[in-house]
Amino acid sequence: MTAQILDGRAVSATLLKEVKDDVAEFVHEHGRVPVLATVLVGDDPASHTYVRMKANRSAQVGMRSRRIELDAGITTETLVRQIRDLSRDPEVDGILLQHPVPAHIDERAAFEAIDPAKDVDGVTRTSFATTAFGEGGFNSATPGGIMALLDAYDIPLKGKHAVVVGRSAILGRPVGMLLLTQDATVTYCHSHTVGLAERVAEADVVVAAAGRPGLIRGEWIKPGAVVVDAGYADNSGDVEYEAAAARASYITPVPGGVGPMTIAILLTQTVRAAWERETGWRRSRVPLKGWT
Strand pairing class (161-165; 205-208): parallel
Active site (annotated) includes residue 60: no
**Cα–Cα distance, 216 to 201 (Å, whole number):** 10
The dihedrals phi and psi of 198, each to the nearest 5 degrees, come to: -65, -40
d(CA 77, CA 75): 5
Query: Catalytic: 118?
Result: no
| Nearest-5° Cα angle at 240, 8 to 149 | 20
Residues 146, 78: Cα–Cα separation, whole Å: 33
Facing residues of 251 across strands?
5, 227
Instruction: Dump the DSSP string for 144-159.
Output: HHHHHHHHHTT---TT
d(CA 22, CA 75): 38
- Which of the following is catalytic: 121, 204, 229, 238? 121
Closest CA to 272 of 175, 150, 137: 137
Find the catalytic residue in 22, 82, 93, 98. Answer: 98
98 given a catalytic annotation: yes
In the chain, beta strands by DSSP E: 4-5, 35-41, 64-70, 94-97, 161-165, 185-189, 205-208, 226-229, 250-251
- Judged by DSSP in three states, 206 sits in strand
Active site residues: 54, 98, 121
